[in-house]
Amino acid sequence: MSLTRREFVKLCGGTVAGLGVSQMFNPGLVKAMDQAAQKAPVIWIQGQGCTGCSVSLLNSVHPSIKEVLIKIISLEYHPTVMAAEGELALEHMYSIADEYKGKFFLIVEGAIPTADKGLYCRVGEIGGREITMHELTRELGKKAAATVAVGACATFDAGIPGAAGNVTQASSVNKIFNADGIGTPVINVPGCPAHPDWMVGTLAHVLMYGVPELDKNGRPTMFFGRNIHENCPYRSYYEMGEMSPTFTDKEGCRYELGCKGPYTNADCWKRRWNGGVNWCVENAVCIGCVEPGFPDAMSPFYMAV
Ligand code: FSX
Ligand code: SF4
Ligand code: SF4
């Protein structure tokens, strides 16, 4: 089964028969990816973050994380899920980067602190020499075929670590690459955390067809191409001026509670979260976690009515 790029993009937002939801990947996608993907090596590194994006990836429903790891990619290094540790693990990572120079894919989760020579995030040690996230990102970034920056912290303004104060001078992948003149393509998959489908779908697209179509912020348009407010199921309440006084109200628009849907582009309104169980606006508000400037530009998140 081979898919055209157009069919692939459609399947990324396709309907899962029997579940009555339209947010998850079509199961046919896994089969296609299994046959088409070259099991390209993937190196996943983590800087300043909460590991929320990794946890989100582990929640991938269609395809399951097992299918992702066995059928789609060859995950060679991941600080949270790999069994190896210490110098041996680092040496393996470096050897893969050299052996597959220009062919492996780098995923960066978490921000990269640049203050004081990057010493606020040390990711390991080889021969007694400490390796900083700043050094590692640049070294692997130069050798990778493409880099996927996942989560708010690795993209744009470095998310939570980059918020006002920013004493570690936390920075994003794009900014680090630009400062060093690294020309490796960067795909931004923001979110705090990023949705598992956004990460898996982007990675699958990169493996099968190359870099997907990106918006002006470097995000795949197949996931971030539409505005939440314009597509929100609560939009008719907004038009009628019917505002919800509490988060738990079944009806009413959440704008006066602080909803940032009007300023946010993502497909959460149809993809939903947690295997389709719910999404932010249903239980609270959208806090604009996929937009540049998050979190400061989206604060305060909540407003009292
Ligand atoms: Fe940041 Fe992510 Fe928010 Fe956490 O990659 S994106 S704090 S959910 O895990 O680092
Ligand atoms: Fe827009 Fe938020 Fe209201 Fe939905 S709940 S219509 S996204 S302001
Ligand atoms: Fe982020 Fe808004 Fe989507 Fe929630 S609804 S995940 S805050 S973009």
Per-residue pLDDT tens over the stretch 156-191: 999 999 999 999 999 999 999 999 999 999 999 999
Q: Is the CB of 272 under 6 A from ligand 2?
A: no
Helices (H), 116-234: 133-143, 173-180, 196-209, 221-224, 228-231
Kind and range of the H or E run holding 107: strand 105-109
Residue nearest to atom 3 of ligand 3 (CA): 268
Q: Which residues contact 240 (CB under 8 A, 6 or more apart)?
A: none
Residue 125 lies in a domain: yes
- pLDDT tens digits for range 21-39: 444 565 666 666 666 556 7
CATH number of the domain encompassing residue 44: 3.40.50.700
pLDDT for the residue numbered 30? 65
Ligand nearest to the CA of 288: 3
Residues 137 and 239 in one domain: no
List the domain range (segments joined by +) for residue 233: 228-298
Catalytic residue check, 121:
no
Residue 134 annotated in active site:
no
Quick: pLDDT tens for 148-165: 999 999 999 999 999 999
Q: State yes or no: is 268 an active-site residue.
A: yes
pLDDT at residue 25, rounded to an integer: 63
Counting the structural domains of the chain, the total is: 2
Q: Which CATH number goes with the domain that contains 273?
A: 4.10.480.10
The residues near 220 (Cβ < 8 Å, ≥ 6 apart) are: 187, 189, 198, 201, 202, 205, 212, 213, 214
Long-range contacts of 55-59 (CB under 8 A, 24+ apart): 55/193, 56/191, 56/193, 56/194, 56/195, 56/196, 56/199, 57/196, 57/199, 57/200, 58/196, 59/196, 59/274, 59/275
pLDDT at 70: 77
304 domain-assigned: no
Name the residue of 264, 270, 277, 281 to mutate for ligand 3: max ligand atoms within 8 A of Cβ: 264
User: Is 232 noted as a catalytic residue in this protein?
Assistant: yes
Residue 305 lies in a domain: no
* Mean pLDDT computed over 255-277: 96
158: left (phi over 0), alpha (psi -120 to 50) or beta: left
Residue 100 belongs to a domain: yes
Q: Is the pLDDT of residue 16 over 70?
A: no
In this structure, are residues 73 and 37 in contact, taking their beta carbons and an 8 Å threshold? yes
Do 238 and 209 belong together in one domain? no
Active-site residue flag, 12: no
CB distance 85 to 93 below 8 Å: no
| Options 78, 121, 192, 195, the catalytic residue | 192
**Residue tagged active-site, from 62, 78, 205, 229:** 229
269 Cβ inside 6 Å of ligand 3: no
Domain boundary among 163, 191, 223: 223
Q: How far apart are CA 155 and CA 83, in angstroms?
A: 28
Q: Greater confidence, 251 or 69? A: 251
Give the best-scoring range by mean pLDDT among 1-15, 38-52, 58-72, 258-272.
258-272
**Distance from the CA of 236 to the center of ligand 1, in angstroms?**
32
Among protein residues, the one with the nearest Cα to ligand 2's atom 1 is: 229
Domain end, chosen from 207, 223, 239, is at 223
Mean pLDDT of 80-96: 94
**Ligand 1 atom at shortest distance from the alpha carbon of 152:** 6
For 102, what's the count of Cα atoms within 13 Å in the CB-facing half-sphere? 0
22 lies in some domain: yes
What ligand is nearest to the CA atom of residue 195? Answer: 3
